[in-house]
Structure 1
Amino acid sequence: MSEGHSAPPAHDAPVTATGDSTGAAPVAVDARHHANHAQAQAQWHSPKEQDSVGRLTPRPTFMENLVNSRDSQFHLDRRDSSELERYFHGPREMDRHSKWPIFMRMHGSVTPKMILPLLIVGGWATCITCISRFVHNLGVNNILLTVLGFVVGLALSFRSSTAYERWADGRKYWAQLIQTSRNLARTIWVNTGEREGENGKVDLLRKLTAMNLILAFAVALKHKLRFEPDIAYDDLAGLVGHLDTFARDAHDRNAITPRPKSLWKATGEYLGVSFAESNPRKLIKRSKKPLGHLPLEILNHLSAYIDSCVSNGTLTSGLHQSQAITMMSTLNEVLTGTERVLDTPLPAAYSIAISQIAWIYVMVLPFQLYNLLLWVTIPASMVAAYIIIGLATIGSEIENPFGQDVNDLPLNTYCRQIAMELDIITATPPPNVDDFMSRPDNLVLFPLSQDSYDEWKARSKEDIRAALRQKVAAGSGLGSIVNGSDSSTEVERITTKTKQSV
């Protein structure tokens, strides 16, 4: 049984009593008996239990505990974090604007991760320079700068291009996810009908549930790509807590309340020290139960909803049925594509070789520069190291675009965008064509004519087509009107001319 639903303490063992109408003494039920109940029933339903004085009180449901709990550190908008913390952690907020010149910005820069490498290179260059100056000249011919520099340039170019390709692929898949979510939500909300009477209320609530599942797919995919296997996150629990999934059965409170990082570990991760970095898959490896595949299971529930709409006659159009099924397949393609980007990084042999090539070149630089630069060898080596190792670090930074680094994709922002757009779609009933077409402020030939829909409806079809021809003839004047450079007098002149010609 999970930590949030453990058995009562031993001194409260007789928590439940049963009796008959004859007034027989209640029979105490041991707390161990309650602990042996089915875990799913204990967590996801709210049976009544007795308090210390024997009164029946409803036990909070597991969903209530998840939604009301604020122990999770995975808030959707990170309002609990300070400005300084948000500055040094990612992903970068797209709506924030900085007036600092680009070369002076630190937010998103790899400079913090370059501090230790630059200190190492500076110490090494100082050692070589001092030995060459006071003991024995270690300088060599700088022909190696040309030969090795070409090889290093090719290696870094390959590293950067492959890493950016993965970053761009991740963005394309999330753009496809947003587009498909819009299309599927519109098909469900507009093209799926609602029956009469009480069934209409059921259809409306099912529509809303399906819209929540569309959002839940995006949020669950975000957490899966970040190796967060639980469902008790603030932005996910209320969307999928009612579904029978493996992730729900494997819920572990410790997964969403990890131990706080020590100062040394947090500093090491910020400086890019590999020994301080944790295994990103540690929560998945520590799970004691099957985690399943939450995004895929959400798709299964969405598919079941589409089938139910076809069965009860609320989605009758074959075209819309095909579109809904196609969009479900597209969501599955997005799921597979993002997993491909996540699980197929640059082969380890390439990564290791490129890193070794870059470091060998940087460490050999002081030997090649000393004869020409003398003491300037030290800062020159550090500048060269910043350029070469910095490019290699950028490739490593953006190789996984779904993480929590500053330069990773802002998946939280994308999920908020989908949630906001679904709210916009569901804010009003499906539009009625007769309502918005015949309104008096529907200027069907604007800006050529200020007449309304009803006024043009009273004219003949030939008059409408003649006006459309006149609209082409007056296109130059209308273009300036649309751009806002002409006054209303010009609009009236063209409108009068159109009426006369018609």
Structure 2
Amino acid sequence: MDIPRPSLNVEEARKSTSTAEQMLIPRPKSIPQAFLRPSEDKYQRNDSLKFDEYFLGPRELDRHSKLPMLLRIHGSCLPELIVPLLVVGGWTTTVCLFSRHVHNLGISSTLLTVLGFVVALSLSFRSSTAYERYMEGRKAWTTLTVTSQNLARNIWINAEEREEFAKDDLIAKVTALNLIVAFARSLKHRLRFEPYTHYDDLKDLVQHLDTFAKEATKLEPERDDTGPTSFWESWGAYLGISFAMSNPRKIIKRAKYPLGNLPLEILNHLNIYIRGIMSDGAFKANIYQTQALYAISTMNDVTATTDRILNTPLPLAYSIAISQLTWVYILILPFQLYSTLGLVAIPGTLFAAYIILGFAYIGQEIENPFGHDVNDLPLDNFCNQLAADISIIASFAPRKADSFVNNEKNLIMFPLSYESSDVWKERSIDEIREALERNALVHMNNVQSRLRNRQNTDKDDGRYERMRASAREMV
């Protein structure tokens, strides 16, 4: 007997949404207070893109901007370039005015050509390595999503419930599915240097587990919270000023008690559950057991991969050398441009500095793809989507295939025939196989017709015309 689904009215569902379910709604990170109106809640959401949210905040996949790429600020590196461009503008103006009124400081452009090649090579290296780390992080999270969905489906569908302990087994299944969601969210917080368990989207999923992080959360009520940052920290992060930014690892450095490794500890509990249902014979086929254990191993591999990406940045010597070389090149630009451009060297240098520093800051921006910045991976959205997907899997009660195979609306020969599976049961096997061949001809005819329409040609070799005629006759 199929279990009826609840009402699918979206408005009614929103009105009855609980506090825990509200956590599925993504929230933007804190922004400089100058961008917030006094009477406005910074977490307030509506359908229009607000002026405040245009400049700052995490990337949201459901947002759409009608502005062309040329005019977009949200997601660009322009805010981080404001201070460097002011410095370059002041320096260039000083050099040009001194050369105009005191002594000409112009030099040959030979040095510009030589250093330009080296700067381009170094920036290309920096950008390619940073983008490789970004894509590797995305691939790791995709692997985690696919593995989590497969493990949840394997537990929910393939693990049979014992008749005498059906309710206990069902509760254990739901608990295991919640552990999969908790693993993804704990990994997200670990990658963002948030090692405790008091976070709103995590605490209700792990409070029943015996972990080091839970004990440290209880013993350290004075721990640093991830609340709104100070004025200087928020503006320092927005403008990319390093000495005004907060160290993201300070929470871990100031911890007074062992914090453990919450994702690995959650995997331990999940492995205990898998071992238990294997001992009880819930998996009737050995392949189900192998898939479950392999999923646990893959989730552990994702943890190691993301840790490697996070804790192995570009070697410091490379970063320092590229930064120094870039700035030396920009600072000697006005000396070389003044000889040919005069005072036009001021905007010329600014434009060149914007291009060069822009690529340098893009590499710095995406080198760590797990943070809270606009161009980082939207891990909050990924975790919320994974939780929704696993909830969808759990909403489908395990049942026999007859419940949908023998349904009167099952049109197995569509588009050749609109008859249900009950009608085709009265036919012979040879008739069913012959109908499948005819159905294949209909599909090939449709595909070929679309291709010919796209090519806008009247040519026909006769073969497909005979196929169309045959399909029409069969139907």
Q: Normalising by structure 1, report the TM-score.
A: 0.80
What is the alpha-carbon distance in structure 2 between the residues aligned to residue 258 and residue 409 of structure 1? 19
Cα distance between partner residues in 1 of 2:376 and 2:249: 18
CA distance in 1 between partners of 2:248 and 2:24 (Å): 15
For 2:152, the equivalent position in structure 1 comes to: 185
Contact 1:76 1:234 in 2 (8 A): no
Choose the corresponding residue for 2:423, options 443, 450, 455: 455
**Aligned equivalents of 2:258, 2:122: Cα separation in 1:** 41
Tell me the CA shift for residue 143 of structure 1. 1.1
Q: Do structure 1's residue 393 and structure 2's residue 393 form an aligned pair?
A: no
Query: Aligned ranges for residues 19-98 of structure 1 at < 5 Å?
Result: 76-78=26-28, 80-81=42-43, 83=50, 86-98=53-65
> Aligned residue for 2:196?
230
Is 1:175 equivalent to 2:142 in the alignment?
Answer: yes
Shift of 1:431: 3.6
Amino acid at match of 2:136: D
Q: Is the 8 A contact 2:333 2:349 kept in 1?
A: yes
User: How far apart are residue 250 of structure 1 and its match?
Assistant: 0.2
Aligned twin of 2:345 = 377
- Give yes or no for contact 1:250–1:289 (8 Å, CA) kept in 2: yes
In 2: Cα distance, 1:100 partner to 1:381 partner: 28
- Displacement after TM superposition at 1:471 (Å): 2.2
Q: How many residues get paired?
A: 421
Question: Which runs of structure 2 are paired with 1:83-482 in the superposition (5 Å)?
Answer: 83=50, 86-197=53-164, 199-251=165-217, 252-255=220-223, 257=225, 260-479=228-447
Q: Deviations over 1:34-62 (max 9, x none)?
A: xxxxxxxxxxxxxxxxxxxxxxxxxxxxx
Are 2:83 and 2:239, in contact at CA under 8 Å, matched by a contact in 1?
A: yes
Whether the aligned pair in 2 keeps the contact of 1:216 and 1:240 (CA below 8 Å) is: yes
Note the alpha carbon deviations across 1:132-166, whole angstroms, 9 max, x for none: 11111100001112111000000000000000000
Question: CA offset at residue 482 of structure 1?
Answer: 10
The 5 A counterparts of 1:4-15 are none
The structure having more radius of gyration, on CA atoms, is: 1
Distance in 2 between the 1:282 and 1:494 partners?
A: 74
Q: For residues 107-144 of structure 1, what are the alpha-carbon distances to aligned partners after superposition, in whole Å with 9 as ceiling and x for unaligned?
A: 00110110110010011111111111111110000111
Conserved 8 A contact 1:218-1:415:
yes
Give the Cα separation in 2 of the matches to 1:117 and 1:353.
18
Q: Residue 417 of structure 2 aligns to which amino acid in structure 1?
A: S
- Shift in Å at residue 263 of structure 1? 2.2
Provide the rounded CA distance (Å) in 2 between the counterparts of 1:253 and 1:95.
37
Unaligned runs of 5+ in 1: 1-66, 486-492
How far did residue 457 of structure 1 move?
A: 1.4
CA distance in 2, matches of 1:262, 1:411: 24
Contact 2:408 2:421 in 1 (8 A): yes
State the structure with bigger RCO (CA 8 A, min sep 6), 1 or 2: 2
Work out whether residues 128 and 366 of structure 1, in 8 Å CA contact, stay in contact via their aligned partners in 2.
yes
Return 5+ residue gaps in structure 2 as ranges.
Answer: 1-17, 29-40, 45-49, 454-468
Aligned residue identity for 1:160: S
The Cα shift of 1:424 comes to 0.6
What is the identity, as a one-letter code, of the residue corresponding to 2:474?
A: T
Counterpart code for 1:77: R
Question: Does the aligned pair in 1 maintain the 2:24–2:384 contact within 8 Å?
Answer: no
**Could you say what secondary structure the match of 1:445 adopts?**
coil
For 2:298, what is the secondary structure of its paired residue? helix
Q: Report the aligned-residue RMSD.
A: 2.4
SS at match of 1:247: helix
Q: Normalising by the residue count of structure 2, what TM-score does the alignment of the two structures yield?
A: 0.84
Post-superposition Cα deviations, 1:261-320, rounded to whole Å, max 9, x if no partner, equal 332332222111111111110111111000000000000011000001011121231000
Percent of paired sites with the same residue: 52
- Give how far 1:260 is off: 4.6
